[in-house]
Amino acid sequence: MSSEVALDIIGLGRSFISGSSQVEVLKGLDLRLDQGERVAIMGTSGAGKSTLLHLAAGMDRPDRGTVTLAGRDLDRLDEPALSRHRARHVGLVFQDFNLIDSLTAFENIELALWLNSRRQASDRVRRLARQLGLDDLLERLPSQLSGGERQRVAIARALIHKPTLVLADEPTGSLDEETASDVLDLFDQACRDTGCALLMVTHDREAAKICDRLTRLHLGRLEAA
């Protein structure tokens, strides 16, 4: 494993207002991922798992602590620079796929390259699509795909620009057991081939097995699971 640090989180704190009170969701959380390392996070609903992913991606700002992604302290970046850094270094996989309904599978995957100002990359899209078993589906709209097929498109979109870090939020949560297993096998191999770090939130211990470490988010901090 490379000694390069993909993600370094130190003393992370985040609170939210709930009714008339302030709820501290993350309480001085620390987390480090080296390049190529994969970490799974489990925890109860409302523990702050998705909040952690949003902060790691720079989609939210912490109340305290630092998030360093691919060597840059995200808090030191203004919004345009943060958007560029995220587009270059982060791939996102969601439970509900988050594909654009009006774009074909090919165009959804290609979108990540366009966001990085990369053109003429159709060969790269087709190579990754072939690896994920999407060869014959690239001209279809999301509405014409099954749940497993849509998630494979989402995985391809997350990996196509070879990000430093992939953040996956319950990537198999909406899939049946057999489909989830197939998707995980493909996700696992594609991540290995890309060499990205992976931070995955999941409720499924089978999904967590593709990771090097399993942790639990409890009372605002990470602990061994």
Q: Where are the domains of the chain?
A: 5-224
- Neighbouring CB atoms inside 10 A of 133's CB total 14
Q: Is 224 exposed, middle or buried (0-12, 13-18, 19+ CB in 10 A)?
A: exposed
Identify whether the C-beta of residue 197 lies closer than 8 Å to the C-beta of residue 208.
Answer: no
**Domain 5-224: homologous superfamily in CATH:** P-loop containing nucleotide triphosphate hydrolases (3.40.50.300)
> How much is the pLDDT for 216?
97
Structure token pair of residue 178? 């057999």
Dist CA 88 CA 116 (whole Å): 6
> How much is the pLDDT for 88?
94
Q: For the full predicted model, state whether its pTM sits above 0.85.
A: yes
User: Which residues in the chain show pLDDT less than 50?
Assistant: 1-2
CA end-to-end distance (rounded Å), the chain: 22
> How much is the pLDDT for 119?
62
Q: Which are the contacts of 22, defined by CB distance < 8 A and separation ≥ 6?
A: 15, 16
